[in-house]
Amino acid sequence: MNKQIINIDPEILGGTPVFYGTRVPVKNLFDYLETGDSIKTFLEDFDGVKKEQVIGVLEISQKLIETSTEIFDENFA
For residue 35, the SS3 value is coil
**25 forms bridges with which residues in the sheet?**
18
User: What pLDDT does residue 50 have?
Assistant: 96
Cα dihedral across residues 4, 29, 10, 13: positive or negative: positive
For domain 6-75, give the CATH number.
1.10.10.10
- Residues 58-70 have a mean pLDDT of 86
Q: Is the pLDDT of residue 5 over 90?
A: yes
Question: Please, what is the Cα angle at 55 between 76 and 44, to 5 degrees?
Answer: 110
Q: Summarize pLDDT for 11-56 with one digit per residue, the tens.
A: 999 999 999 999 999 999 999 999 999 999 999 999 999 999 999 9
**Distance of alpha carbon 49 from alpha carbon 20, whole angstroms:** 8
Q: Where are the domains of the chain?
A: 6-75
pTM of the model as a whole? 0.82
